[in-house]
Structure 1
Amino acid sequence: MHVIPDKMKTYFRYLPYSDVDVLWQLYATTVGIVNIQKGEPYPFKADEQPPAYTCDWSTGRVLSEFQFVYITEGVGRFRSFQGDFTVSAGTVLLLVPGERHWYQPDKDTGWTEYWLGFNGECAEKWLERSFIERDNPLYHIGISQSVIALFEKAIHYAMQEPVCMQQMIASLVPQILARLQGSRKNIGKEKEYDSLLDQARSVFEKNIYVKFDVEAITKALNVNYHTLRDYFNEHTGLSPYQYFLQMKINKAKELLFQKDLSVKEVSFKLAFDNPYYFSRFFKKKTGVSPSKWNGAHVKNDLDLWSEENEP
């Protein structure tokens, strides 16, 4: 099944795989993104999904595969034999075969979820060796642009169907798992840097249409720039300035896709010095010029960034 979304807010596909794909010992089964608005029914498009994939709160679901489910907006609930948990934006569910589970967004908030299903001998060995933990399926990683980019790459491959699509999507699975392992911590026990990063992202979002102002940002966060820079470098691999610019590029993608503004208007709206610099910078970071951006490109991986000069 292949559903082309409205503004890339909903897309899902159940992926074909061959005996040869299985011999690779790791293959993808499904990939998608869905944006459930406040009050919308869930499961979404239940009549368009195979019954085995429908996660109804009244009955739950038992999969015959592994799945990552990443909640990037909203709040909801997750239930398994381990208990009943509140799930918030920044949480990844790592579901394993044979375990009944339930999850759904809160009707008052809705949520956005990405998912990637996979299977194979590699995944079974990861479970056997506790790289995937059956008894500890929740990971709180925050809003990670690098992880979002991996899910979006999987969606991009599923849409474009390149040669060796299965292997290209499957190669993203250990990358996501590695990021989960690196971010493992107990849910509800927030560390200081997580709070600082969340606050910084909020400040950046509020100032997305103005230039980067070190003094104003550090004042709003009540922290010196050296501390802020160290936290960002350690936990995102970027400086605050680089991260802020990436947020501007992501906002530019949204504005360009809506087609309400010209490239020049987007440039000035986001406080770039001039349209020429904006166009060069946009192409450098996305691989395509803003005039050719059509929303199908999903290359916003923060890992692709090179060092930039800071103000």
Structure 2
Amino acid sequence: MMNETIFNFWHLNDSKLPLNVLMSGISYCDKNYRIERHGENLYSFEYIIDGSGVLEINSQTLYPQKNDVYILTKNSDHIYYSSEDQPWIKIWIIFNGDFAESLFKQYLPENTYLIKECNILSYMNEIISLSSATHMDYSSFIDEVTVLLLKIVLRLKNHLKHKAPTVSEQIKSYLDGNIENKVDLDDLSEQLGYSKNHMIKMFRETYGITPYAYFRKHKIELAEQYLLNTHLSINEISNKLNFADQHYFSSVFKSVAGVSPSEYRQIK
């Protein structure tokens, strides 16, 4: 059953302040949890404590899961919903204002909506603790939250800066490491938290080729080395490289190399 702790500050918003908090809270989602917004004046950080789900934002489809941060930006079109099997437990804050806009412009790359494996739970817990404090006036509350939001943005910025591989590089590394195996982009999509179409698009933009074409090309290059430098039969090479059968291997080999495996071995 859906359970949420929500702190609402809409009624306290002050246009003179550089930052306003609209809402904050903790959500224990269920399979029916779904939020949709179009072009609203808000920003949000949502940290996934546990579970998984989907974020569709500005034509991207992303898969936030445990220990990820997803980001909602001003004027974005977004829909997000929890998985049925492992619904989200998440802690979040929604805010706006000139300071918020400046934070995003100065510190975070444009069109960044998901940051993987970046733990900001301690900061988010502090925000919830401040949200629940009955003794604090709104202006003092905003002062405290402003500092925490800056800390969160700097944590995200530094995480992105030192996060070694891009999505494209992660895909390439996965393909290179599994060149003799069968690969499934659906499995990789789940691991990386990006839709398969988005991964293909990113990979093509980086390397000028689809992941499938890259993988096939390099698998055949390895087959060429086996043909030149070993006494393995064509069938053995086909099996070693996890092709369905020798006929399919020969067909793929000829489409890439221009000759059949047996012809390649004779020519070289």
Q: What corresponds to 2:8 in structure 1?
A: 14
1:108–1:62 distance in 2 versus 1, CA, 3 Å: farther
Return the alpha-carbon distance in structure 1 between the equivalents of residues 126 and 54 of structure 2. Answer: 27
Which residue in the other structure is 1:183 paired with? 159
Aligned residue number for residue 49 of structure 2:
72
What does residue range 20-59 of structure 1 map to in structure 2 within 5 Å? 22-37=15-30, 40-43=31-34, 55-56=35-36
User: Highest Rg: 1 or 2?
Assistant: 2
| Correspondence 1:191-230 to 2 at 5 A | none
Q: Count matched residues.
A: 161
What displacement does 1:14 show?
1.8
Partner of 1:157: 130
1:110 equivalent in structure 2: 87
- Structure 2 Cα separation of the partners of residues 137 and 86 of structure 1: 10
Give 1:18 deviation, angstroms: 4.4
User: 2:38–2:75: 8 Å Cα contact kept in structure 1?
Assistant: no
Q: Distance in 2 between matches of 1:159 and 1:68?
A: 18
Q: Tell me, which stretches of 5 or more residues in structure 1 are unaligned?
A: 1-5, 44-54, 191-311
User: What's the TM-score, normalizing by structure 2?
Assistant: 0.54
- Secondary structure at the aligned position of 2:12 is classed as coil
Which amino acid is 1:156 matched to?
A: S
Residues 111 and 122 (structure 1 numbering): CA distance in 2 closer, same or farther, change over 3 Å?
same
For the 8 Å contact 1:27–1:167, the answer to whether it is kept is: no
Amino acid paired to 1:169: V
CA deviation map 1:138-160 (0-9, x unaligned): 11134x2xx21211111111111
Q: Give identity over the alignment, percent.
A: 18
Counting only pairs closer than 5 Å after superposition, residues 127-142 of structure 1 correspond to structure 2 as: 127-129=104-106, 131-142=107-118
C-alpha displacement of 1:107: 0.5
Q: Secondary structure at the match of 1:109?
A: coil
Secondary structure of residue in 1 paired with 2:108:
coil
The aligned amino acid for 1:107 is: E
Q: Structure 2: which amino acid aligns with 1:95?
A: L
When you count helix as a share of all residues, which structure comes out higher? Answer: 2
Residue 124 in structure 1 maps to residue 118 in structure 2 = no
Residues 103 and 153 of structure 2 are in contact (CA less than 8 Å); yes or no, is this contact kept in structure 1?
no
Tell me, in whole angstroms, the C-alpha distance in 2 between the residues paired with 1:151 and 1:187: 27
**What runs of 5+ residues in structure 2 fail to find an aligned partner?**
172-268
| CA distance 1:100–1:12, shift in 2 (3 Å) | same
Report the Cα offset of residue 42 of structure 1.
0.9
SS in 2 for 1:113: strand
TM-superposed deviation, 1:63: 2.7
- Offset of residue 181 of structure 1: 0.8
CA contact (8 A) 2:32 2:82 kept: no
The two structures have a TM-score, normalised by structure 1, of 0.47
Name the CA distance, whole Å, in 2 between partners of 1:86 and 1:17. 33
Aligned partners of 2:48 and 2:68 also within 8 Å? yes
RMSD (Å) for aligned C-alpha atoms: 2.5
Structure 1 contact 70–93 (Cα < 8 Å) conserved: yes
SS of the residue corresponding to residue 127 of structure 1 reads: helix
